[in-house]
Chains A and B, each alone.
Chain A
Amino acid sequence: MLSLLAQTAPGEFLDGLSAIGAGLGYGLAAVGPGVGIGIVVGNAISAMARQPESAGMVRTTMFLGIAFTEALALIGFVVFILLLP
């Protein structure tokens, strides 16, 4: 392992580190919004099942909630593209 590190140029090593950081960054940024969107949609479905007559309003509000939650994952995605070597 150490001899392998000694052979690589410093620039390559930094490139590899930033690739790892980009991958981890996107993965971590996707965890929270994934859970959040699940909660939003699950509760919207149970609300629609209880009161089908208010489905239109619930659907609109659900998309709003998804849009706000998803923004965090998208910021992670932007950072992922910026960090790519």
Chain B
Amino acid sequence: MSVFALEFPPVSHLFDWPTIWFDGTPLAINKTVLIYLAATAATMVLFGLAGRTRESLVPVGVQHVAESGVNFIENSVVMQTIGPDGKKFMPFLTSMFFFILFSNITEVVPFIQFPANSRMAVPITLALLVWVVYNVVGVKSQGVFGYLKNSLFPPGVPWVLYVIVTPIELVSTFVVRPFSLAIRLWANMVAGHLLLVTFAILTATLWEFFYVPAALPFVMLILMTAFEILVSFLQAFIFTILTAVYIGGSMHPEH
């Protein structure tokens, strides 16, 4: 596709990677899978190293990073949305936050520069996992009928309005939630990757013809890279906090 005489690759070329190993089998491995394996390993190594028996009381290095992460999730996610009895979900939320963060941040890591979450498979799997978790928590803490009653017939609504409210709640709670959760993460990463690719191509093309104007898209590229670091953190945070909100909503129904 050419826009203003600028050769721009089709969108699918930016996100489809050729298979590296095990071609043709269900275990085929390409760049996206490698990034996910590395993100899993990084999360495990981070908390494995931080959980060792320590020599000093003052946390340093890896332990400091892991403890600030756990503190951050506890103070600004769990305590704000679920409350003190949500602490049993701390391991789930913390590991999910770090896994999403590590697979997002590869967007700006030199020589990788591909956000693994811009492929839909893992975001939708995580979102369906979250769907199972908050439904199981709701059924466990309120019983099947209590959970359905509280989520389909929210209290404090005049009974005539239930004709409208109940179908909306049914669709939004049990159908739309996992998809909006997954699409939010996926589309943000796709948009960020397209933005960086556009400015990189613009810089390279301008550099071939005349050198000085290439500085303009290059400055934009640097600024957008900084912005994408922020977006990677923010999307991991938003995914985690929405999970906590859904879990909190099915643990403590509105009265």
- Residues on B lying within 8 angstroms of A by beta carbon are 11, 75-77, 80-81, 180, 183-184, 187-188, 190-191, 234, 237-238, 241-242, 245
Q: Which residue of B191, B234, B242 contacts A77 across the interface (Cβ within 8 Å)?
A: B191
A74 touches B80 (CB 8 A): no
Q: Which residue of B75, B180, B237 contacts A63 across the interface (Cβ within 8 Å)?
A: B237
Name the distance in Å between B6's Cβ and chain A's nearest Cβ: 15
A71 touches B180 (CB 8 A): yes
Q: Which residue of A57, A59, A64, A74 contacts B183 across the interface (Cβ within 8 Å)?
A: A74
Using Cβ atoms and an 8 Å threshold, which residues of chain B touch A66? 238
Bound state CA distance, A81 and B120, in angstroms? Answer: 14
Name the distance in Å between B185's Cβ and chain A's nearest Cβ: 10
B76 touches A67 (CB 8 A): no
A84 touches B184 (CB 8 A): no
Using Cβ atoms and an 8 Å threshold, which residues of chain A touch B190? 77, 81
Answer whether A67 and B191 are a contact pair too, CB < 8 Å, given A60-B76, A60-B80, A60-B81.
no
Main SS class of interface, A: helix
Q: Which residue of B81, B184, B237 contacts A70 across the interface (Cβ within 8 Å)?
A: B184
Name the distance in Å between B181's Cβ and chain A's nearest Cβ: 9
Chain A residues within 8 Å of chain B by Cβ, number: 16
Bound state CA distance, A81 and B11, in angstroms? Answer: 8
A78: interface (CB < 8 Å): yes
Using Cβ atoms and an 8 Å threshold, which residues of chain A touch B191? 74, 77
Closest 7 CB pairs of A and B: A74-B187, A60-B80, A67-B238, A71-B180, A77-B187, A78-B187, A71-B184
Can you report 14 A-B residue pairs in the complex whose CB atoms are below 8 A from each other? A60-B76, A60-B77, A60-B241, A63-B238, A67-B184, A70-B184, A71-B183, A74-B184, A74-B188, A74-B191, A77-B187, A77-B190, A78-B183, A84-B11
Using Cβ atoms and an 8 Å threshold, which residues of chain A touch B245? 64
Which A residue sits closest to B245, measured CB to CB? A64
A75 touches B234 (CB 8 A): no
1/0 per residue A16-57: CB within 8 Å of B?
Answer: 000000000000000000000000000000000000000011
Bound state CA distance, A63 and B11, in angstroms? Answer: 30
Answer whether A67 and B242 are a contact pair too, CB < 8 Å, given A60-B81, A81-B11, A84-B11.
yes
Q: Which residue of B75, B187, B188, B241 contacts A64 across the interface (Cβ within 8 Å)?
A: B241
Which B residue sits closest to A78, measured CB to CB? B187
Which A residue sits closest to B183, measured CB to CB? A74
Bound state CA distance, A81 and B193, in angstroms? Answer: 13
Q: Which of A59, A64, A74, A78 has the most CB of B within 10 A?
A: A74
Bound state CA distance, A77 and B178, in angstroms? Answer: 18
Bound state CA distance, A66 and B245, in angstroms? Answer: 14
